[in-house]
Structure 1
Amino acid sequence: MTRPYTPQALQQHAGASIIAGPWPTYSQFKYLPERERWVLYGSAKDYRASLEAQGLAMAESYDEFIKRVTAELEI
């Protein structure tokens, strides 16, 4: 479940731009074989890490992100 954008919920981290979303949903892939769902999970984590390496901060915490993606992929 995605939370609505609220400026008060966002905090600036050392001058980083904050990405509030919307984030891609992965629930449409839950019917793929488990192996392919794990590959998508890894890709989602890599994509987030890449954005963070570029100095972008996510409004969704890492734990919330992991919880959401694993629930959507049913893994």
Structure 2
Amino acid sequence: MTPITKPAQAPQQRAGAAIVAGPWPDYTAFRHLLEADRWRAYECAKRHRADLVAQGFETAEPYDAFVRRVCEELQL
């Protein structure tokens, strides 16, 4: 793997926090589920992200973009 010497825009980082850039899980495989099950998958995705943040990780994807992406992938 070739390291990137000058990324176009480096994410901002809090002191001591590791940034998780992804790849993030793709939830499109759950589109066939009933709506109630897709909502459970959405809650699970939010909980997973919250757990990472609680452990000191920062994500490169802003929370609003995360919610928008997961909702689109789950067709909610």
The TM-score range, normalised by the shorter chain, is: 0.7 to 0.9
Gaps of 5+ in 2: 1-6
Deviation at 1:13, TM superposition (A): 1.5
Percent identical pairs in the alignment equals 53
Q: TM-score, normalised by structure 1?
A: 0.88
Aligned length: 70
Aligned to 1:15: 16
Please give the secondary structure, in 2, of the residue aligned with 1:42.
helix
Q: Which residue of 1 aligns with 2:4?
A: none
In the superposition, the TM-score normalised over structure 2's length comes to: 0.87
| Counterpart check, 1:72 vs 2:67 | no
Show CA shifts across 1:22-51 (max 9, x none): 000001101100000000000000000000
Q: Tell me the amino acid that sits aligned with residue 25 of structure 1.
A: D
Identify the residue that residue 62 of structure 1 maps to in structure 2.
63
Q: Could you tell me which amino acid in structure 2 is paired with residue 10 of structure 1?
A: P
In structure 1, the gaps of 5 or more residues are 1-5
Partner of 1:24: 25
Q: Structure 1 residue 7: deviation in Å?
A: 6.0
Give the C-alpha shift of residue 11 in structure 1. 1.1
